[in-house]
Copies of this chain bind each other. A is one copy, B any other.
Amino acid sequence: MTGRKSFGSDNHTGVHPAVLRAIMEANSGDAVPYGADPLTERVTARLGETFQAEGGAFLVLTGSGANVLGLSVLLRRHEAVICAQSAHINTDECGAAERLVGTKLLAVPTPDGKLTPELIAEQLDGRGDEHFAQPGVVALSQVTELGTCYTLAELAKIADFCRASDLRVFLDGARLANAAAHLDCSLAELAECADVLTFGGTKNGAMGAEALIVMGGSFAADVPYLRKQQTHLTSKMRFVAAQFGALLEGGLWRSNAAHANAMARRLADGVRDVDGVELVHPVQANGVFARLKPRHIAALREDWTFGVWNERVSVVRWMTAFDTSAEDVDAFLAGIRSTADR
């Protein structure tokens, strides 16, 4: 790292002070392990209420762990998953879904990372024919990997289609807080479309905490066993619960996300008039995707930390976080402008 604020990812950040405080407070005396302690019970109950999730909430340690657990809860043994080609489960988890769940991902090219009923329907041609992989789950990402958000209306349309088509809906919510902030809606409204979803804490200010939210009660029975079998039942669970406790307290999750989103918008607004910088996706959450000249990318990376999203088309990704300040953005903007002038 350069000393300057990283725009590489919202997981370059440390831990929000309130989260760290909650961890320290949780460290008093003994507690029964594996999540049977009072703090975990209180926090997971509150998560369940927040999402109006009949099946409850289950804490795990990583986003990939949450995704694998969620898919394994929803899939029949032989079924496949329909997802966007850009989905994290398809591109960024080293084949975890195929290896740990044993499922085929039917990856659909999309312009903006978002599935639609029409795109889903095209994957159903082989249904009922034993030779073809049989879709059982549609996996959405909210926020998508391209920084876009499904609207509530889009989610409802997909959910209606899926329910009518015997497809369950999984929602990867590693950045769900950012979507709720962008759409100015509740987490429960976002979750309505889904049978099972994840709610990411880590990118929102936690140290390492993710939640699996089980909307339908019928899917909950096997989760404890699957979580243990998939090696995510940590013994000192109270310290994971404490993190979510802090994020839920006073709506910290929402203010963290709203701030990150605002910083991304500030960044996007700041580059709109910069020659040679082209925004390639709507900026709806805390990511800005932009096309720059390759030599400008190289020059900018000498001073700043961020990722090249797609080298072939010269697109970069700039991420903001709960602790990105307006000054950080403005300094970065100055750097972009000065680079673009060269």
Q: Which residues does A use to contact B, with CB under 8 Å?
A: 1, 3, 5-6, 8-9, 11-15, 20, 23-24, 26-34, 61-65, 67-68, 72, 76-78, 80, 91-96, 98-100, 102-105, 125, 130-134, 202-203, 207-208, 222, 224-236, 239-240, 305, 311
Using A61-B61, A130-B225 as known contacts, say yes or no to A103 and B98 having CB atoms under 8 A apart: yes
Cβ contact within 8 Å between B96 and A130 = no
A75 to chain B, nearest CB (A): 8
Cβ contact within 8 Å between B104 and A235 = no
Across-interface contacts of A32 in B (CB, < 8 A): 1, 6, 8, 12, 305
Cβ contact within 8 Å between B68 and A95 = no
Interface SS majority for chain A: loop
Copies of this protein, total? 4
Cβ contact within 8 Å between B77 and A95 = no
Using CB atoms, name the residue of chain B closest to A17: B27
Cβ contact within 8 Å between A222 and B78 = yes
Cβ contact within 8 Å between A12 and B31 = yes
Cβ contact within 8 Å between A33 and B12 = yes
| Cross-interface CB contact of A229 among B29, B94, B228, cutoff 8 Å | B94
Given A93-B131, A94-B134, A125-B311, 10 new contacts (CB under 8 A) = A8-B33, A11-B236, A61-B61, A65-B231, A65-B232, A76-B222, A93-B231, A131-B228, A202-B235, A208-B240
| Cross-interface CB contact of A30 among B6, B68, B98, B226, cutoff 8 Å | B6
Cβ contact within 8 Å between B208 and A239 = yes
